[in-house]
Structure 1
Amino acid sequence: MSQALFSSLPLPPALLTNLKTIGYQEMTAIQQQSLPLALDGKDLIAKAKTGSGKTAAFSIPMLTKIRQRFFGCQALVLCPTRELATQVANEIRKLARYQQNIKVVTLCGGQPIGPQIGSLAHGAHIVVGTPGRIQDHLRKRTLSLEKVSTLVLDEADRMLDMGFIDAIENIIDHTPDYRQTLLFSATYPKGIRQLSDRFQNEPEEVTVESVHSHQHIAQSFYQADHHEKPEVLHKLLSHFQPASCVIFCNTRQVCKDVGIELYDHGYKPLVLHGDLDQKERDQMLVRFSNNSSNILIATDVAARGLDIDDLACVINYDLSRDPEVHVHRIGRTGRAGKEGLAFTLYTSKEHYKLERVAEILQSELSESDPGHLPKPKTEATKAPMVTLAIDGGRKHKVRPGDILGALTGDAGIAGDQVGKINVFDFVAYVAIKRESARRALSRLEQGKIKGRKFKVRRL
């Protein structure tokens, strides 16, 4: 498909100018296929993965229908996780800059409901949220969906995986029949078809192949029965020493077991699972993305919303039951032309599954002998950064520049020793090179940020 420009679409001139300003000129494959249909008012069922440009594909048609003067909810976007909902809401705000006063409200669990009720009382044109919290607001009657003209189900397959089907059906029942329904999913399990059949009106189907080819990913498959897997995993980590690695397991319990196993070998892995509260989850994702921890162990559901641009390695400790999920997992590495590693462990009973993976990847699989891997080195490599947590955030008017200034000002820490700074409502995290962590902690403990003293701790 040849590249098409946004200017070829029947969009308001102010929207086209804004798209150009934020660097949107050529459409991605999903935008090229879905925008003309969605702008024409059609319902869509679109197969597209994270990073394909799907947010703009559903946001642009949605924004063209918003009536500014009416402050009721006119568009609803359902997402599986808070991270994805936040990401989507931020993208919509950027795209909506061409119109004045378009209010986008994010409604997710793991956050106090009071401030959300306050935001809704002032009106909202677009609501982005997770099914559980949207249901809470519907029960409390703090949200009305009677005037919704666009409903978007983003990463619908993941919402079904997470058991949200009843919540989704209940939410849709609160919306008018005349709405436009846009359904986006990375895979098409049976449940997606049933959802579409029930709630969509003669939907057009759009499919876009994987966001990036796998030519930059070196894949190897190792046969290892359950009792052999921990040793093979240790050998892979020790031999390849990836700068960042996500280890996928099929269950929460296996995640925990692998975490204990690696900890015993001197690693400091992060284990991401559904038992964590939102603050713990945020903290883990920050530590992994800022290079303070180089190993993250997760199930597919727990890894949703994890968007690491530069992931060196993916290890499938368990082979996924669904070959499409396997492709989605390994597609997190080898991005933007960089080389990536993907290792998969499978048991002798699972050999038949490899054929399905080979079929979907359209390539022969490289099966390797775990016996050829060298014995593990004695010491596990440490992550290059350390995270410091500061008990002050956006609500205290703390900004990244304030933290950087407190660290580097007046003969402080050199700027190149400071990594990513993430500021949340009530807490901020700053990554510091390991060798400077002690000095940085001492400097923040003794100094002030924005003229105030805040508690600081090393994670």
Structure 2
Amino acid sequence: MVLLEKLKLSKPLVRAMTDAGYLGPKEIQLKTMSRILGAQDIIAIAPQGSGKTSTYVLGSLMRLKYGFEEAPRALVLVPDKEHVLAVIERYELLNKNKTIRIVGLYPEGGMESQMNALADGADIVVATPDRARAIYLKLGLNLNKIMMFIVDDAAEIVKRGMQLPVAELARSIVKCQHLIFTDVFHDKLNLLTSQFMNQATTFEIDDLGEQKLETIDQILYKVPDFKTKVNLLNLLLKDKDVFSKVLVFVNTRLTAEKVFKSLFKYLDKEIAIYKPLFFDHPGFDLIDDFKQSEDTRILLVADDLKESLDLNDIPFIFHLEMPLEMETFIGRIVKNTSIESGEALAISFATDLELSMVKKIEQAIGLPIPLAELPEDLVIEKDKPKKTVKTEVQETESGSAFHAKKQSNIKDYNYSSREKAKMKFKNR
């Protein structure tokens, strides 16, 4: 068994970890701690529960050692208030040095009280990006002494569209160590970190452990956007011989209606909606009626109906969108061993912003979802050439109010104010 002393932390921190119930260091701590203590930039990719938060909490407490300045020396950015409070709680659990002051900033509550807390002195600030930026612009957050800039749950921050405040805060700091912790690292996150990080070392922990659940076969398509998802669905479902009976899950009934309109152009009577919003759209109120239908082979189902459906004897289950709750997805892919049924395949589409949910599902079932290659003839929306609208320039006819300029009044030069001043004084 690896001992906590392997992390080369101070004795008070090792004692605090022991008191908190840590029996040994996590893999991510063993891989990254020496780099963190050496003030190097790192990107750590690891699933939930792998010890990411405790890693940077221990690293920052070790680097700061004690409180002595009014301005903060570490800024930790997290997605929301719940994360702010959870991180502060972790600091309080492991911080035995009471001279280190920790302040939380989040949208709820008055900004003045949070600015007053900063004015009283803070060594570590744990904040949401939007609130930290707002207080910084009001000159309430001093970034001049920042040594460590930490972004936790970075993929979730990108998903919530808070890239701008993160980038602005990072660029406002002249020089510091950057630490990024995330469960997935995708193109959108890379675009954010590349604005302020250079030559960062990347560590990836991908320990799924043993397979915990027996599931039906699965494949995953990674796509850039929702329109490309619909294009891919259209392309696959054209094969009537293979996709004889299909359930397509989306998150909302409005999305189901939107997808129906797109697919109906090509599939006509072969597609229907489960409990449709509009009476003029073909649909079913019972899943058994769909199973027995000879004409309809595709049924769109919205997750917000929150109904448990009997999926036995349906060979293909599509997730056009990753469900908002992990349990919803897992309930559909776990094999029902008590009932004999034919083979089934779950096909999921995920954008960059949905990869965090994919990772959580893989962690829960203890099995990676195989990644499938996109078909060559798939139309990817972001690669489509944009339509250029030609604007015709209409020649204005000279009417009675139009007079051509005299040749002597036509100016083919444009002097700057500086040149005009020179000419003025030259003629004096």
| TM-score (norm: length of structure 2) | 0.57
Report the secondary structure of 1:217's partner residue: coil
Deviation at 1:229, TM superposition (A): 7.2
Which of 247, 269, 281 is the aligned partner of 1:224? Answer: 247
Provide the residue aligned with 1:76 in structure 2. 75
Distance change in 2, residues 1:20/1:302 (3 Å): same
Deviation at 1:218, TM superposition (A): 3.5
Provide the residue aligned with 2:378 in structure 1. none
- Measured in 2, the distance between the counterparts of 1:315 and 1:166 equals 37
Question: For each residue in 1:102-158, what CA deviation from the matched residue of structure 2 results, as whole angstroms up to 9, or x when unmatched?
Answer: 221111113332332232221111111111111111111111111110111112122
Do the aligned partners of 2:101 and 2:124 also contact (CA within 8 Å) in 1?
A: yes
- Measured in 1, the distance between the counterparts of 2:123 and 2:274 equals 51
Distance change in 2, residues 1:87/1:315 (3 Å): farther
- Measured in 1, the distance between the counterparts of 2:148 and 2:159 equals 24
- Measured in 1, the distance between the counterparts of 2:323 and 2:142 equals 29
Deviation at 1:313, TM superposition (A): 4.8
Question: For each residue in 1:421-454, what CA deviation from the matched residue of structure 2 results, as whole angstroms up to 9, or x when unmatched?
Answer: xxxxxxxxxxxxxxxxxxxxxxxxxxxxxxxxxx
1:180 aligns with 2:177: yes
- Measured in 2, the distance between the counterparts of 1:175 and 1:215 equals 44
Distance change in 2, residues 1:172/1:119 (3 Å): same
Do the aligned partners of 1:48 and 1:207 also contact (CA within 8 Å) in 2?
A: yes
Higher relative contact order (CA 8 A, sep 6+): 2
Amino acid at match of 1:134: A
Distance change in 2, residues 1:258/1:302 (3 Å): closer
- Measured in 1, the distance between the counterparts of 2:97 and 2:84 equals 21
Deviation at 1:228, TM superposition (A): 6.1
- Measured in 1, the distance between the counterparts of 2:56 and 2:161 equals 24
Amino acid at match of 1:328: K
Provide the residue aligned with 1:165 in structure 2. 163
Provide the residue aligned with 2:59 in structure 1. 61
- Measured in 2, the distance between the counterparts of 1:315 and 1:112 equals 44
Provide the residue aligned with 2:358 in structure 1. 327
Distance change in 2, residues 1:133/1:230 (3 Å): farther
Deviation at 1:182, TM superposition (A): 0.6
Amino acid at match of 2:204: T
Report the secondary structure of 1:37's partner residue: helix
Do the aligned partners of 2:171 and 2:196 also contact (CA within 8 Å) in 1?
A: no
What are the equivalent positions in structure 2 for 1:348-427 lying under 5 Å apart?
356=371
Provide the residue aligned with 2:151 in structure 1. 153
Do the aligned partners of 1:121 and 1:142 also contact (CA within 8 Å) in 2?
A: yes
Which of 80, 103, 107 is the aligned partner of 1:109? Answer: 107
Distance change in 2, residues 1:302/1:128 (3 Å): farther
Deviation at 1:192, TM superposition (A): 2.7
Deviation at 1:230, TM superposition (A): 4.5
Provide the residue aligned with 1:208 in structure 2. 205
Distance change in 2, residues 1:129/1:12 (3 Å): same
Distance change in 2, residues 1:106/1:326 (3 Å): closer
Amino acid at match of 1:111: G
Do the aligned partners of 2:33 and 2:59 also contact (CA within 8 Å) in 1?
A: yes
Amino acid at match of 2:145: K
1:32 aligns with 2:30: yes
Provide the residue aligned with 2:94 in structure 1. 95
Distance change in 2, residues 1:228/1:22 (3 Å): farther
Which of 120, 125, 128 is the aligned partner of 2:126? Answer: 128
Report the secondary structure of 1:116's partner residue: helix
Tell me, which stretches of 5 or more residues in structure 2 are unaligned? 219-244, 249-255, 257-270, 276-283, 289-299, 309-320, 334-345, 375-428
Amino acid at match of 1:152: I
Distance change in 2, residues 1:25/1:19 (3 Å): same
Report the secondary structure of 1:65's partner residue: helix
| TM-score (norm: length of structure 1) | 0.53
Amino acid at match of 1:70: E
Distance change in 2, residues 1:14/1:262 (3 Å): closer
Report the secondary structure of 1:71's partner residue: coil
- Measured in 1, the distance between the counterparts of 2:5 and 2:156 equals 33
Distance change in 2, residues 1:175/1:330 (3 Å): same
- Measured in 1, the distance between the counterparts of 2:286 and 2:42 equals 45
Question: For each residue in 1:367-400, what CA deviation from the matched residue of structure 2 results, as whole angstroms up to 9, or x when unmatched?
Answer: xxxxxxxxxxxxxxxxxxxxxxxxxxxxxxxxxx
Provide the residue aligned with 1:363 in structure 2. none
Tell me, which stretches of 5 or more residues in structure 1 are unaligned? 237-253, 266-298, 343-353, 360-459
- Measured in 2, the distance between the counterparts of 1:4 and 1:65 equals 23
Distance change in 2, residues 1:111/1:302 (3 Å): farther
- Measured in 1, the distance between the counterparts of 2:99 and 2:286 equals 54
Distance change in 2, residues 1:300/1:312 (3 Å): closer
Deviation at 1:326, TM superposition (A): 4.9
Distance change in 2, residues 1:63/1:235 (3 Å): farther
| Aligned CA-pair RMSD | 3.9
Give the length in aligned residue pairs.
Answer: 281
Distance change in 2, residues 1:122/1:45 (3 Å): same
Q: Which structure has the bigger radius of gyration?
A: 2
Distance change in 2, residues 1:223/1:112 (3 Å): farther
Do the aligned partners of 1:311 and 1:333 also contact (CA within 8 Å) in 2?
A: no
Question: For each residue in 1:44-92, what CA deviation from the matched residue of structure 2 results, as whole angstroms up to 9, or x when unmatched?
Answer: 0111122110011111121122241223211011112222222122112
Distance change in 2, residues 1:71/1:93 (3 Å): farther
Distance change in 2, residues 1:27/1:301 (3 Å): farther
Quick one: percent identity of the two aligned structures?
A: 21
Do the aligned partners of 2:81 and 2:107 also contact (CA within 8 Å) in 1?
A: yes
- Measured in 2, the distance between the counterparts of 1:34 and 1:193 equals 19
Runs of 4+ in 1 over 6 A off after TM superposition: 231-236, 299-303
Amino acid at match of 2:350: S
Do the aligned partners of 2:274 and 2:285 also contact (CA within 8 Å) in 1?
A: yes
